[in-house]
């Protein structure tokens, strides 16, 4: 059921670890990078709620959710294959919009897919299994350029300056994305609506743009738990966005002493950034298996708050590190946070949502992931340039502080009367 997430995260992982470096090699300045990353949150804001609402109203031979994540996988694979060949900055930026739109088409229905197929008791484990496959996919995506460069001695460059190790990684990632999603599509059936004829009659009577009303209604009818989780998500994903945008360039400068994107040491720093991301991904899929039992004993919100604290302290510690290997220790905390971020909020939320509207509510919940990212993309250019003096490390440290704030907000999500008491499955 969750294997397709391995492919989806392969796409995200390659993008997160390499796009800032690709942009710099095509001529972007550090303060321009946040705006160039606007594609990811904007497409999430637009695509996920629409796809969620539409998939709630869909039933085909492939089912309800599977047509969407198959279509997204095909388009994302094509964009991944083309990305490292981009001859100019504007081409790379355009391809990123295509890639992120396609990934969001695939990803949103997967959240609802798991909630559709599992009952309340099994959902925490279902979302934790997503964390596991996300961790595996991200690990493979992050270490692949390093393996191609350091182990297989692929050190040349494409005509646009992108290292061949990165180019080949994107092409292999395209195949992995589509292949992993096909595994889920071909092996995991969906249950039809309980009254299929009534479902079809309602669909026939619905207007073409009724999904707009669905989204608006979901925004105004959010359960109180969802509203409290929204604060946590805003702070969490602001912190993650700071890390993803600037971690690679930050350690290339701070640890490897390379400010010139064309220098060999800069490429080495970016590749080591991929190893750091792989480390937190490995920690993610190892820790994921402990989360259901911890949540059963202490509650999902408490577990999530502790995990976010680990992530915040991990990012803040990068400012004190001058040795590349100590960065791997810092990434352990980030991996603990990442495992929880991918599962605990959804486990808390799913039990508060009506089953027949799971898709649209999950899509609306994504607003609180992408809105802080959009705000960062639009405002970070002057912040990085004038406040942080073009220093990417300062943005990474800001991300750590944001994760700590999210940990504090998590303590207010579940009140004692509604605390989670899941039993491990």
pLDDT value at position 398?
94
pTM of the model: 0.75
Residue-level pLDDT at 284: 87
Which residue in 413, 285, 287 sits closest to 345, CA to CA?
Answer: 413
Domain locations along the chain: 4-418
How high is the pLDDT of residue 420? 40
Cα separation, 400 vs 403, in Å, equals 5
> With bands split at pLDDT 50, 70 and 90, how would you rate the model's confidence at 208?
low
Tokens matching residue 48: 């996920």
Asked: is 4-418 a CATH 1.20.1250.20 domain? The reply is yes
Q: What is the pLDDT of residue 41?
A: 84
User: Bridge-partner residues for 60, per DSSP?
Assistant: 63
pLDDT at 165 (0 to 100):
93
72/104 Cα distance (integer angstroms): 7
Distance from the first to the final alpha carbon of the chain: 16
CB 137 within 8 A of CB 287: no
- Residue 250 makes CB contacts below 8 A (sequence gap 6+) with 318, 391, 392, 393, 395, 396
Mean predicted confidence (pLDDT) in 325-331: 93
Distance CA 310, CA 305 (A): 9
Residues 6+ apart with CB under 8 A from 389: none
Residue 60: strand, helix, or coil: strand
Residue 119 has pLDDT above 70, yes or no: yes
At residue 322, the pLDDT reads: 82
Q: How many other C-beta atoms lie within 10 A of the C-beta of residue 182?
A: 16
Q: What is the DSSP letter of 150?
A: I
Q: What average pLDDT does this structure show over 228-245?
A: 93
Model pLDDT, residue 209: 65
What is the rounded CA–CA span in Å between residue 103 and residue 76? 6
CA 232, CA 308: separation in Å to the nearest integer? 10
Q: How confident is the model at residue 152 (pLDDT cuts 50, 70, 90)?
A: very high
Confidence of residue 87 (pLDDT cuts 50, 70, 90): very high
Q: DSSP for 349-370?
A: HHTTS-GGGHHHHHHHHTHHHH
pLDDT per residue as tens digits for the range 254-280: 889 888 888 888 888 888 888 898 899
The residue-averaged pLDDT of 241-257 equals 88
CA dist 300 and 316 (Å) reads 24
Specify the 3-state DSSP secondary structure of 92.
helix
Read off the pLDDT band of 401 (50, 70, 90): very high
| Cβ neighbour number for residue 3 with a 10 Å cutoff | 19
Does the pLDDT value for residue 211 go beyond 80? no
Tens digits of residue pLDDT in 284-323: 888 888 888 898 888 889 999 999 999 999 999 998 888 8
**pLDDT single digits (tens) 370-386:** 888 888 888 888 888 88
Task: Give me the chain's average pLDDT, please.
Answer: 87
Angle between helix 358-365 and 210-220 (nearest 10): 60
Average pLDDT over residues 320-333: 91
What are the phi and psi torsion angles at 47 (to 5°)? -75, -45
- Does 132 have pLDDT greater than 60? yes
Are 37 and 18 in contact by the 8 Å Cβ rule? The answer is no
Q: What is the mean pLDDT of residues 131-145?
A: 85
Q: Which of 99-108, 202-211, 261-270, 402-411 has the highest mean pLDDT?
A: 402-411
């Amino acid at each position: 059921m969750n294997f397709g997430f391995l492919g989806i995260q392969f796409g995200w992982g390659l993008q997160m670890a390499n796009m800032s470096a690709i942009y710099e090699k095509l001529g972007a300045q550090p303060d321009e990078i946040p705006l160039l990353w606007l594609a990811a949150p904007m497409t999430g804001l637009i695509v996920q709620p629409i796809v969620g609402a539409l998939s709630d109203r869909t039933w085909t031979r492939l089912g309800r959710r599977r047509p969407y994540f198959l279509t997204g996988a095909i388009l994302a694979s094509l964009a991944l294959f083309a990305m490292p060949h981009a001859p100019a900055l504007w081409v790379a930026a355009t391809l990123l919009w295509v890639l992120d739109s396609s990934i969001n088409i695939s990803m949103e229905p997967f959240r609802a897919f798991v909630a559709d197929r599992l009952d309340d008791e099994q959902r925490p484990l279902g979302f934790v299994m997503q964390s596991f496959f996300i961790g595996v996919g991200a690990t493979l995506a992050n270490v692949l350029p390093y393996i191609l460069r350091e182990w297989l001695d692929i050190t040349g460059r494409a005509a646009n300056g992108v290292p061949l190790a990165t180019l080949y990684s994107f092409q292999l990632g395209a195949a992995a994305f589509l292949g992993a999603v096909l595994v889920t599509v071909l092996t995991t059936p969906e249950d039809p609506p309980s009254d299929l004829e009534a479902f079809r009659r309602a669909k026939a009577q619905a207007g073409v743009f009724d999904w707009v009303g669905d989204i608006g209604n979901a925004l105004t009818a959010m359960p109180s738990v969802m509203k409290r989780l929204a604060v946590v998500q805003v702070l969490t994903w602001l912190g993650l966005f700071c890390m993803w945008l600037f971690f690679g360039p930050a350690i290339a400068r701070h640890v490897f002493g390379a400010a010139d994107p064309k220098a060999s040491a800069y490429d080495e720093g970016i590749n080591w950034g991929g190893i750091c991301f792989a480390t937190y991904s490995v920690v993610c899929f190892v820790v994921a298996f402990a989360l259901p039992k911890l949540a059963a004993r202490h509650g999902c919100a408490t577990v999530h708050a502790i995990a976010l604290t680990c992530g915040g302290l991990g990012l803040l510690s990068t400012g004190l590190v001058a040795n590349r290997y100590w960065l791997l220790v810092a990434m352990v905390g980030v991996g603990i946070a990442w495992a929880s971020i991918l599962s605990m909020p959804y486990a808390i939320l799913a039990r508060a949502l009506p089953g027949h509207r799971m898709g649209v509510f999950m899509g609306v919940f994504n607003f609180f992931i992408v809105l802080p990212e959009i705000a960062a993309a639009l405002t970070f250019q002057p912040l990085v340039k004038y406040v942080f003096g073009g220093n990417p490390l300062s943005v990474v440290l800001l991300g750590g502080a944001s994760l700590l704030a999210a940990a504090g907000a998590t303590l207010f999500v579940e009140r004692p009367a509604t605390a989670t008491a899941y039993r491990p499955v």
